[in-house]
Amino acid sequence: MLPNVAFDAADLAAKDRAHLIHPWVDLGLVKDQEPLIVSAAEGAYVYNVHGQKMLDGIGGMWCVNAGYGRGEIADAMAEQARRMAYFSPFGMIGNPPAIEFATRLTQYTPGDLKHVFFTTGGSTAVDSALRFVHFFNNFHGRKEKKHIITRDYAYHGSTYLTASVSGKPADRGNMDLETGFIHHIPVPNPYRRPEGMSMEAFCDAKVKDLEDKILELGPDKVAAFIAEPLLASGGVIVPPPGYQRRTWEICRKYDVLYISDEVVTGFGRLGHIFASKEVFDIEPDIITSAKGLTSGYSPLGAMIASDRLFEPFNDGKTVFGHGYTFGGHPVSAAVALANLDIFEREGLNDHVKQMAPAFRTTLEQLYELPIVGDIRGEGFFYGIELVKDRDTKETFNDHESERLLRGFLTTALWEAGLYCRADDRGDPVVQLAPPLISGQKEFDEIYGILHRVLGEASRLL
């Protein structure tokens, strides 16, 4: 049952504009913009302060995987907060839920990835992985082996370092980034491959990009390659078949560590707790996780490293001088345990595997609209790329983009009852990642609203 709380919407909006700094808004436009203030949620739906109901097409921010309003997660939080809300994780100090969750988590990790370092979210998980890779090479006396290879359009977070290994052009304005040891290779986006090139040849070329970059820098200087198995906020990009496995093999060949950023692809999004091995047949050296790890009920992230990387520190003087006050927070760990219980008891991964073909088929009906260029994704994770001309794949100019995306699409979708991301600052890709409890009813609703609003968008062009 939703709590029946009344809000003064106008007062909240005024206070919001006066005092909140929002991530990723055009700061110059804040004064004229009406914030979307969401105050209640249940199942796959959220409600704004005016009481309007919206289907949450992107699980909050790719994270509310078990759906909203889970009483047992709320109970687990309350119980843990009453028993012991917090204690330091620094040094040889533990708390029962964090220990239990690390143990259960490693039952799902591939190969020998059995060491878990808890963080506060995805950015801090990736930041920890990158810092650990440098620490590891310093320990082994490989002081030159520090370069990190990443990809254009990647998104790995918002700390200085994780923003530097990200590659979305729209995020880079007015920002300083680390460039000394970070190198970007082209994004493996099959939709944008050269005209007439086969998928196999495109895959060869993208794998070669990585090998060429390693050879250009020198294998003894390259520490790691970081990759989301499928790129999420960079536009839901699904690399060509075999790309993940072949890039992982290249890393093995040149003794380059492979960091698989599963912040989005984990926890059921593709029908598995982790997709690296099960879907892409790779055993990374490090997996980073967050978001669905707690289904968004409380912040938590994890860097999970292989035993091979963690075992050699036996000289009695090697401190990994890195950690967060709230890393492995007991309340978040209790949430994560309750969340994993739901996954196991309700078979959410099997549900995703079963329903994924229906989600695809439902969305693919949108190809009837000329504005829809490409529908791509897997599991419960899809992107719809909008184009000006489907035959030529021509995209929108700045003016059209401004009018269609910023000026129309996102708000029109909200008003029609669908919350999802229609990237208003970069590539025009509608991103979809509904809670994993969704089924045909929700797919039909997503289709119906998108059909109506995208049809309207086509006419605006």
Binding site for ligand PLP (CB under 6 A): 121-123, 126, 155-157, 228, 232-233, 261, 263-264, 290
Q: Which of 303/355 has CB closer to ligand PLP?
A: 303
Closest CA to 254 of 286, 303, 210, 287: 210
Instruction: Please report, for residues 262, 264, 433, the alpha-carbon distance to residue 382 in angstroms, rounded to integers and kept in the order given.
Output: 16, 12, 7
Side-chain half-sphere of 95: how many Cα atoms within 13 Å? 22
Least distance from ligand PLP to the Cβ atom of residue 119, Å: 9
Residue the block writes with tokens 């047949």:
281
Q: Which residues contact 205 (CB under 8 A, 6 or more apart)?
A: 197
Q: Which of 236/453 has CB closer to ligand PLP?
A: 236
Least distance from ligand PLP to the Cβ atom of residue 299, Å: 7
Spatial distance between the Cα atoms of 398 and 431, rounded to a whole number of angstroms: 20
Q: Residue with CB nearest ligand PLP? A: 122
Residue the block writes with tokens 């909240």:
12
Least distance from ligand PLP to the Cβ atom of residue 155, Å: 5
Least distance from ligand PLP to the Cβ atom of residue 11, Å: 29
CB 121 within 8 A of CB 290: yes
Cβ neighbours of 7 (radius 10 Å): 14
Q: Which of 67/301 has CB closer to ligand PLP?
A: 301
Q: Which residues contact 37 (CB under 8 A, 6 or more apart)?
A: 7, 9, 12, 13, 16, 48, 49
CB 301 within 8 A of CB 288: yes
Q: Which of 257/457 has CB closer to ligand PLP?
A: 257
Q: Which of 155/248 has CB closer to ligand PLP?
A: 155
Least distance from ligand PLP to the Cβ atom of residue 158, Å: 6
Q: Which of 259/366 has CB closer to ligand PLP?
A: 259
Least distance from ligand PLP to the Cβ atom of residue 389, Å: 30
